[in-house]
Structure 1
Amino acid sequence: MKIDIICPLYKGEKYIRGLHSSLLKQENVEINNINYVLTRTNDQSESILKELGAKYEIIEPKDFSHSTAREMMARKSNADIIVFISQDVKIIKNDWLYYLTVDIINGNCEAAYSRQLADKNNIEKYTREKNYGNQSFIKTKNDIKSMGLNTFFFSDASSAISKKVFEELNYYDGKILASNEDQYIAYKLIMAGYRIKYCADSEVIHSHDFSFKTLYKRYQDTGDFYRTEPYMNNYGTNSTGAGMAKYILKRIIEDKNWKAAIEFIPNMAARFLGMKVKK
């Protein structure tokens, strides 16, 4: 099956060369196109893309959202599988794309997402551990009762979806989503009876060291998503957040990670207040 890779870029000049090189090294897959969606800025991203001979389209900042940029490019694709990646993922292995897409190719699922590993010894290290274990599994509508909101956990920092199914579901319905567009499509997939695979063998490194202000803003966007898509609140948003906080605290204590311990309360407060103010 032919694969199109779509990567939104925003002030991504420091990532492009390494990311593009790692994509070209992928083995045992048929890459149809690597397409970048460049939000116009005054950095050197466009010059680097031209230097690499990469395919890209430019959009204005006022026209960007996480859903609209991806939907625009996916609608133009003639591939069998759409793969979304974030500009700041680090792809270390040449089998990342193979493991991400093989079960879609073999008819075992309609969408898949990669394991994300952290390279920073902060709180995000523990959120990655919680969300991305070392065992692969497939989620279906039958798992909602046991998994709740986690049934719809799906990250397009590194994900794949059948183009035919994506088109059938009308992509993101033309919605302008500042965040959680991946959760939105995961909900549609699951509720339509499709299968999502978590691929532990498809690994990327993806972690941040956000300021509390940035974290607060990100969770405002998440809260806004749950406000505008209120049906999501029926699956235990509060219990999911509480479970994550308990896990993080447990792991901080086990690791004696004092830096993370100092950050724990303001970090959790930024998440909670950001969600609450918009939700």
Structure 2
Amino acid sequence: MKIGLAIPTYNAGTNLNDVLEKIVKSSINIDRKIIVDSESKDQTVAIAKDKNFEIYSIQQKTFTHGLVRKKISEILSDCDYIIYMTQDVYVEPTALENLVKYIAEHPIMAIAYGKQSVDMNKTDIFEKKDRSFNYPDYDMEKSYADKEQLGIKTVFSSDAFAIYRRAVLLEVNNFPEKLNFSEDMYMAAKVVKAGYTVGYCSKAIVIHSHSYTLKDQFRRYQSIGEFHGQNKWIQEEFGTNEKEGLKSVFSEWKYLIRNNKPLKIPYSIMRTGVKYLGYKSGTRKGKN
């Protein structure tokens, strides 16, 4: 069993040193560690070289999330498993080992993703709640048969920290080169339709924090909407995002009340509205 790990990078900054250091000091040996850089202008490549990562490049003007991950699968052609990460994810000491063991123990599991927590010094209570909603404290193996119960969550996954069986990735025709958002959900839907499962390992823990403004949220959900407008088959097959979104909103309000933060509910309503407008705007754009 040979394992490769890959991170697409662009101007990752000095924080990349800590990201890579935690990978190097992980409790499991990774056979090949690479970055695929999009013409960074900072010290990204130098930092990666210092940590003994293999360096590859992709033109910034041609970059898409699908293209770079397909390129990674070609570079790591000698690997049985590929761990995809992003440049802002910090692995806990046993995260990589737990993720590898988890997928290896499940023969028909094509993809597995880990649990994302946040650093509260870098984000807010809303991001913390989003993470707990999407990343519970129990493991899951999701198959096509679960779509009636789980809906669109059946094919939820995250390439911020995920592992793929490379052979299955090739079997379902790899990442589409033109896909530029939600490539993780796209591939999860493909493997589930092909009869494989998608796993979630709650013991594979990483720290992944964002601090989105309302403008950032609008753009993010616009991209999600555009993706679903272009790939209508996913919601037709597994259910709508809006239904899952409503569950998330009501869960967030209950969470704020339980944590004595009821005065944040008006901001939550505004935040939800911005997401919805962005999503609908993107959906219309994707259909055109």
TM-score range with shorter-chain normalisation?
over 0.9
SS at match of 2:91: coil
Provide TM-score, normalisation by structure 2: 0.91
Matches of 1:259 and 1:14, distance apart in 2: 37
On the 8 A contact 2:24/2:51 being kept in 1, the answer is: no
- Structure 1: 5+ residue stretches without partners: none
Matches of 1:272 and 1:85, distance apart in 2: 28
Provide TM-score, normalisation by structure 1: 0.94
Per the alignment, residue 36 of structure 2 pairs with 37
Is residue 271 from structure 1 mapped to residue 270 from structure 2 by the alignment?
no
Per the alignment, residue 286 of structure 2 pairs with none
Per the alignment, residue 103 of structure 1 pairs with 102
Is residue 60 from structure 1 mapped to residue 59 from structure 2 by the alignment?
yes
Is residue 145 from structure 1 mapped to residue 148 from structure 2 by the alignment?
yes
Per the alignment, residue 4 of structure 2 pairs with 4
Q: Deviations over 1:91-117 (max 9, x none)?
A: 12x211111111322344222100111
Is residue 23 from structure 1 mapped to residue 23 from structure 2 by the alignment?
yes
SS at match of 1:79: coil
On the 8 A contact 1:122/1:260 being kept in 2, the answer is: no
Q: For 1:1-279, list aligned pairs within 5 A.
A: 1-27=1-27, 29-77=28-76, 78-92=78-92, 94-108=93-107, 109-120=109-120, 121-174=124-177, 176-234=178-236, 235-257=239-261, 260-279=264-283
Matches of 1:4 and 1:35, distance apart in 2: 8
Change (3 A) 1:39 1:259: farther
AA of the residue aligned to 1:12: A
Shift of 1:200: 0.4
On the 8 A contact 2:66/2:180 being kept in 1, the answer is: yes
On the 8 A contact 1:2/1:30 being kept in 2, the answer is: no
How high is the sequence identity, in percent, across the aligned residues? 27
SS at match of 2:8: strand
- Structure 2: 5+ residue stretches without partners: 284-288
AA of the residue aligned to 2:220: R
Change (3 A) 1:18 1:258: farther
Matches of 2:264 and 2:10, distance apart in 1: 29
AA of the residue aligned to 2:167: K
On the 8 A contact 2:20/2:48 being kept in 1, the answer is: no
Q: Which sits farther off after the overlay, 224-233 or 13-22?
A: 13-22
Moved over 4 A (4+): none
Change (3 A) 1:260 1:101: farther
Change (3 A) 1:12 1:32: same
AA of the residue aligned to 1:69: V
Q: Which sits farther off after the overlay, 165-174 or 43-52?
A: 43-52
What root-mean-square deviation, in Å, do the aligned CA atoms of Structure 1 and Structure 2 show?
1.5
